[in-house]
Structure 1
């Protein structure tokens, strides 16, 4: 069993850290709101620390799941940052969805400290985190990945190395690009069925068994049709992710007209007051 630190206890990080403790690892947690870290420690029997540095001191691996590029820098760098507390040979594993640029920046700093770095963004949403069924796409040195993978497997359905540092983040962008268009298509399909007077349940029962079927359709059609959007991954976070995707598309010369359009549709949802609704709320533009 490993000595671990987990930094960031949001809707994803809280259950992920819990799985690590349940698997028998020695886990110390840090959260910006310290009371949440103390609550986690009381619930799971682990320890909490007031700074990333103290949480990371002596850890074999430090896992992070925070909000954005700036949040990640703040927990890694500075006198109280994780890198200052990590010993040479320890490995930092970042589960945050951030830009490949900040990933490469922080990985270079980590190397200067003798620290390994694996970018390991996740997909599967809150339910995936709670049920230990996350898809984890990783970038980093093979040796660092091989050391981190058995720990990541505790909450992963699949964990794969996609290439060198940054490859995990680029793969996560592929994931978000695919989801954006899919959710918009499903929203239009369900809204059309409602306006045409069809029984949505019967429609989905039939079309989900063919080429149109998807996880989103099977698991979200009922709540989408009912206008219920409380499933964890917020529109505000999706727009953050899509901004990363669109910036990377400019860098690599990729054309993503549908993704750019759906990003603006999510902006419409924000204007409607739905910034904290989950991403299936695209249908609200068509039915309200």
Structure 2
């Protein structure tokens, strides 16, 4: 009996996008024996990864992509994803799959899926959460929007990069889930940065205070992983605030399409924009504490 499509797992993956998240995901796919190549718009990063993982040197993109049954994309924004899809659309084989781990709008995911479908290529929107730490450990939370058959085909790919893989529904629902996730991320950052700025102003022993908060109802991932770094003014450890600002604009658009408004989103966009104007855009989102400190000590010169 011939296997069904869902029984034929994806096993020849190309990673397109070798940023802070894409590089560790490529390493994990390589460790699972399913990575055949990498591509990046910056040639140096591509060549460095080929050398590190001892990957095959293909003659050109067409020879690499035509052999792949899956391209996993991980880029910064909607326009970047559209450019990548335009770049590979005519080089991939019908029946292959694009898995996008970027954070883009649900509308962009659906539009890209339509473009790929015209060439017989399937699309899975699979944004991730867990930060660079999760990407390195292969423990990302993956929110999947896809036809169920394609979702099943991608099981090997998801197992290599994540530990919590959830099929949220049709294409676009993965990105809708990520938008909700980013609202939560922004809200937690607001609370933790405000609270620790207050703790500083109260002259608390911050190491002890963080231990107390983490052990009770206020405990959370952000406090555990960013509490000590932010009070030490270390803001180069994780998710860049300019990327959360971009994600929150997507959240804002999504909420507007629903006919509503969430002040948490609007306020966070405004504050992160202010930090970007102050040249802090490449810092971790915990740099929000800079503004919270100023609110409690207006005399501070930021």
TM range (shorter): over 0.9
Rg bigger for which structure? 2
Which runs of structure 2 are paired with 1:44-59 in the superposition (5 Å)?
Answer: 44-47=53-56, 53-59=62-68
CA distance in 1, matches of 2:111, 2:268: 29
CA deviation string 1:150-209 (max 9, x = no partner): 211101021111000000000000110001011011011101011111111111211222
Mapped to 2, the partners of 1:156 and 1:241 lie a distance apart of: 21
Residue number in structure 2 paired with 1:118: 124
The aligned counterpart of 2:70 is: 61
Which of 91, 98, 119 does residue 97 from structure 2 map onto? 91
Quote the Cα distance in structure 2 between the aligned partners of 1:119 and 1:248.
16
Secondary structure of 1:275's aligned partner = coil
Q: CA distance change for structure 1 residues 269 and 49 in 2, over 3 Å: closer, same or farther?
A: farther
- How far apart in 1 are the matches of 2:130 and 2:38? 22
1:263 maps to which residue?
A: 269
Deviation at 1:95, TM superposition (A): 0.5
Distance 2:111 2:61 in 1: 19
Cα drift, residue 232 of structure 1: 3.1
Relative to the length of structure 1, the TM-score reads 0.95
| CA apart distance, 1:284 | 1.2
User: Aligned pairs, how many?
Assistant: 285
Give the alignment's Cα RMSD to 1 decimal. 1.5
Q: Which has the higher contact order (CA 8 A, sep 6+)?
A: 2
Distance in 1, Cα, partners of 2:160 & 2:218: 32
TM-score (norm 2): 0.91
Tell me whether 1:172 sits opposite 2:178 in the alignment: yes
Distance between the aligned counterparts of 1:55 and 1:249, measured in 2? 40
Alignment of 1:98-137 (within 5 A): 98-137=104-143
Q: Tell me whether 1:217 sits opposite 2:223 in the alignment.
A: yes
Q: Distance in 2 between matches of 1:219 and 1:234?
A: 15
CA–CA distance in 2 between the matches of 1:17 and 1:221? 29
Partner Cα separation in structure 2 for residue 212 and residue 202 of structure 1: 14
